A = this chain, B = another copy of it.
Amino acid sequence: MASPTPAVRAEQLLWDLVYAYDDAYERAALEVGLSAAQACVLEHLVDGPATMGRLADEMLCDASNITQLVARLEARTWVERGADPTDRRVKRVALTPAGRRARREVHRRFRLPADRIGRLDPAQQEQLAGLLALMTDPDPERV
């Protein structure tokens, strides 16, 4: 059998990396007492509060799902739901101090990508960043 092209090899390696990445992220979250989805919500709140609708958009899921995720996070005091002063339909979800700590703790435990990237030498890190930028950035409508 002919050896695979670099593109095909890269495809396979990327699959393996994503597999390991997802697993490591879920483990890190579970160690802190969060599901992966819950940790993801905290991640999306780290730069400031967001509305329920914006969370649904960013997390690529239905609004009713966010209602439930946020309800569980709120029950454990990791987030708070507040009213929006300018539109009484809207809710503003924000991290509590405990939620911020939990999110930071997930990151501390989720060392996989940092570890692996850190093994590359600086020139290779630069190369990788450049290639990933090419792969993630130009996103001509249809993915």
Contacts of A127 in B (CB 8 A): 127, 131
User: Could you say how many copies of this chain the assembly holds?
Assistant: 2
**Does A114 lie at the interface of the complex (its beta carbon under 8 Å from any beta carbon of B)?**
yes
Shortest Cβ distance from A11 into chain B, in angstroms?
Answer: 5
The secondary-structure label for the interface of chain A is helix
CA–CA, A6 to B135, complex, Å? Answer: 15
CA–CA, A16 to B44, complex, Å? Answer: 13
Q: Are A10 and B132 in contact (CB under 8 A)?
A: yes
Closest to A122 in B: B6
CA–CA, A119 to B15, complex, Å? Answer: 18
Q: Are A126 and B14 in contact (CB under 8 A)?
A: no
CA–CA, A73 to B26, complex, Å? Answer: 25
